[in-house]
Structure 1
């Protein structure tokens, strides 16, 4: 089974691109920019030490108005070297390899769709983020600014199983609790110290209660602190992952987290957000955009639905802004972040066809003022 878009995905997969590995990301960025330029895009970058964000623009052709914004990312959760034990394979309709589903197939399908466009279309803007897998801490400002000037936002993350699109997402926040204590000799003068690790443990017991009675997920992901067993620990921290289904729960719980105060008089406690994706709830603008895309899909013989998702992505930011947003336009497959990751070869062809139709047809269905 071979096609230009699958050949492109093969090339992208073999350039491993874990989040934060600036050298690996730079190698894939050069490849993606070359392919984007070949598809007709003007390419630019927003540089960052941990990986540049890619900004592609295709000028409008006979369609006035605000641009159509596509969001994707080229970082993966897989470290360099994963290919050795998780190689590219094609077994019937299933293509396997690190990052094929989340979300290099989406990039390949989008570039193939743009290259196939033949007809009027609005300006296209594409943001390909370098740190999406850790919450886009350096990209969120760029995503927000681009969304504010877009007519609609189309997320190129994987869809629901079977291919349905995503019309909302749980809020997702990574937060760090940081504790400073007072160091002292643990045997000779322990009372002169204030143990930061003990303080952190007490704070984490409080954190367990933050979401009590609310549909909030709170996960303590990492803990670090101290240095020696004969020294009262002077520093400790814990990183939390929080998920929210409702903006009010999000507001309350993050407020309580920020209000944590030390149990020990000589300890200090602080919290800060490492990344924050606000809750994106379904709204009329998103429902209308989904209906328009579903109508375009029906016109080319595809059946498409949509509903909210549990996972978070950059579309949290745009949907929470109230911009018309739909996500999940990458090809279907499964096993995101797992060694069973796969993407459907026939799904790649279907999504490429759909994206081409959306690019040239969505402006015809826009509501008239």
Structure 2
């Protein structure tokens, strides 16, 4: 296609859901590609030429440390991301937050009357500042390794590369596109959630830039997750002379945690006690204690029931007070029957010479907010790799070009109708 050619408008929708089913590896073109002669081959070929640029970009982003909660470092990375995306034609807005700025970016579509596509990602990582000193970003054996390279600097670099490739071809996305990059996803998006949720109304589809399953499958559902802090207040006293005058917050917390562990026996609920602290000295009855719990839920019902139980905890011993605080929460995103969005992506991938499938995921992310509302949602469109949150975190370099082409195709090709009228 000539760089100055204009793609025709999306085909008129029929009254029924278009059948975009294609066997993995099949030759059926994705909806819309037949209206864009040569697009599939052009995207696949051009993506291979973009691979080196995106690989270098991913390494650049990973070398800017951005731990959750470190606003100055996160804002430094936000500056770099904003500049890179502006170069592709984006309108960029900063959304200030207590843990650093979130980014909201927009591109016009070929047809501005169409609903927008929404991509969600994050630029915070779980790795503390200084990690690069003994674990630098390196490339070897077909992998790029380093803190945050998979989760999810590579996803941000890939989408930037896809937009850049379309701009080089003289193309605009078919639909208007919005991208939200949150600064606090790794701690549950306590503030970023509001930025994502503002962009959900009217979205035709929502795509997440988290890494896929290790075998490359996309993520079609996610468990809900909630972080809860239990705080116990007791009464201090001398542990040797007058222990009877005290109420141990530590003892109360231990007993509460033993009782709370029973919640993990309920269907659809998992619990991890991630952090405990309390007391001051061995010879002082503890006056304060707290624990942070991580909970995951397979269903909305399990989430509601468990959080209701935690909200109504009462002290087991006289003189103690128990307080429950929800630090962050994401709703469960259940599997969608039929999943026409996955069928569309699978068919588009086949037109690009790729095999793509999907499966539910155990972890939670910002796409939970869309999937829980019933919006057509897929996650895992970031880089293929392994080891997120671990010292063997890496991406597979030979999978960069296919992912660039797939993202560019999702931007360029009109969506079929994904929901009933």
What is the TM-score when the length of structure 2 is the normalising length? 0.84
Q: Which among 148, 155, 167 is matched to residue 99 of structure 1?
A: 148
Q: Name the structure 1 match of 2:295.
A: 242
Residues 140-149 or 191-200, more deviating: 140-149
What whole-Å deviation, never above 9, does each CA across 1:196-242 have from its counterpart, x for those lacking one?
11110110111111222424211111011111223221111100011
Match of 2:21 in 1: none
| Match runs of 1:1-369 below 5 Å | 3-117=52-166, 118-284=171-337, 287-363=339-415, 369=421
SS in structure 2 opposite 1:19? coil
Q: Secondary structure at the match of 2:341?
A: helix
Post-superposition offset of 1:182: 1.4
In 2, distance between residues paired with 1:9 and 1:47?
Answer: 24
TM-aligned CA distance change 1:341 to 1:357, over 3 Å: same
CA distance in 1 between partners of 2:419 and 2:281 (Å): 65
Secondary structure at 1:166's aligned position in 2?
A: strand
Distance in 2, Cα, partners of 1:3 & 1:90: 12
Deviations 1:321-354, CA, capped at 9 Å, x for gaps: 1111100001201111111111011211111110
Deviation at 1:22, TM superposition (A): 1.1
| CA distance, structure 2, for counterparts of residue 363 and residue 22 of structure 1 | 37
User: Do the aligned residues in 2 keep the contact of 1:211 with 1:253 (CA within 8 Å)?
Assistant: no
**1:280-310 C-alpha deviation (Å, 9 max, x unpaired):** 10114x8111111111111111111011001
Structure of higher CA gyration radius? 2
Gaps of 5+ in 2: 1-48
Deviation at 1:368, TM superposition (A): 8.1
Q: CA deviation at 1:364?
A: 5.2
Give the aligned partner of residue 35 of structure 2.
none
Do the aligned residues in 2 keep the contact of 1:171 with 1:316 (CA within 8 Å)? yes
Query: How big is the shift at 1:24?
Result: 1.1
Which protein, 1 or 2, shows the higher relative CO under an 8 Å CA cutoff with sep ≥ 6? Answer: 2
Aligned with 1:363: secondary structure?
A: coil
Q: Distance in 1 between matches of 2:361 and 2:98?
A: 31
Counterparts of 1:287 and 1:128 in 2: how far apart (Å)? 25
Contact 1:210/1:257 (<8 A) preserved: no
User: Which whole-Å CA distance do the structure 1 matches of 2:256 and 2:85 have between them?
Assistant: 49
Alignment partners' CA distance in 1, 2:172 and 2:418: 17
User: Contact between 1:219 and 1:241, CA under 8 Å: does it hold in 2?
Assistant: yes
How far did 1:87 drift? 1.6
The secondary structure found in structure 1 opposite 2:302 is helix
Deviation at 1:249, TM superposition (A): 1.6
| CA deviation vs aligned residue, 1:108-140 (integer Å, no higher than 9, x gap) | 000110112214511111011111111111111
Q: 1:161 to 1:362 in 2, by over 3 A?
A: farther
DSSP 3-state at the match of 1:331: coil
Q: CA deviation at 1:151?
A: 1.3
Task: Tell me, in whole angstroms, the C-alpha distance in 1 between the residues paired with 2:140 and 2:122.
Answer: 26
Per the TM alignment, residue 190 of structure 1 is displaced from its structure 2 partner at its CA by 2.0
Does the CA-based 8 Å contact 1:292-1:362 persist in structure 2? no
- Unaligned ranges ≥5, structure 1: none
Query: Is the 1:169–1:309 contact (alpha carbons within 8 Å) kept by the matching residues of 2?
Result: yes
Q: For the residues of structure 1 that align with 2:420 and 2:250, how far apart are their CA atoms?
A: 60
Aligned residues: 368
| Aligned-partner Cα distance in 2 for 1:351–1:313 | 20
Name the CA distance, whole Å, in 1 between partners of 2:279 and 2:173.
62
